[in-house]
Structure 1
């Protein structure tokens, strides 16, 4: 194998490692977004259920202390929901950045693969040409048997 091919193979190996690392990070980012979305859905569902409980309790009569307790808890759940929405937005923004880097790593890997393939093909053509020249030279130096 020629030095050129060896260098391209090394570059391809490095690009492959980078691509795999970016795929791992992409998976982790996608998982974080999915977890944040699931957490947000749970919080909203919990908030809705608690508000319904508050309304039912209000129909049957609540003390002012009970109303304040319900309202304080609903306020805390609302604040937590807002925090979870912010975390989701941040996770989505990170995912977008990781996707960009992943696409770049994929493109770089493909480019390195094409360069390696081209170098291997050029080397193969060069080897074939040398072999043909050697065969031509041998055929010129051999004497025919009928002489």
Structure 2
């Protein structure tokens, strides 16, 4: 199947923590949105990655661990795994599911402002004061002048 560039935004909730299932670190999200007129309005998304990827392991392990509520931006390839049907009994032995193969995760924490009861997202790229104002001058590392002689 050819890859198609598709940007989809889903809003899902989970109260679970990461589990190891079939050699993958897995976290399930419940989504209550419609992706189109042929898709169900409620479904589960299984976000998973190789547990040997330390970057993704550290990020997924901190979901629902360090903060009471975690907002995460999950980036990856999503596909549908159809249900498994027993050929003899014609009964469904495993439900169909949407699987997101994780490539990156960004965690966004919300800080409570003491003056009001509103929460505002803490986005690192929004907190920069200026383009280069906070950088001090440093000479380049390993750069030495060489004379030919």
TM-score by length of structure 2 reads 0.20
Which structure is higher in helix share? 1
Q: Relative to total residues, which structure has the larger strand share, 1 or 2?
A: 2
Under a length normalisation based on structure 1, what TM-score does the superposition of the two structures give? 0.20
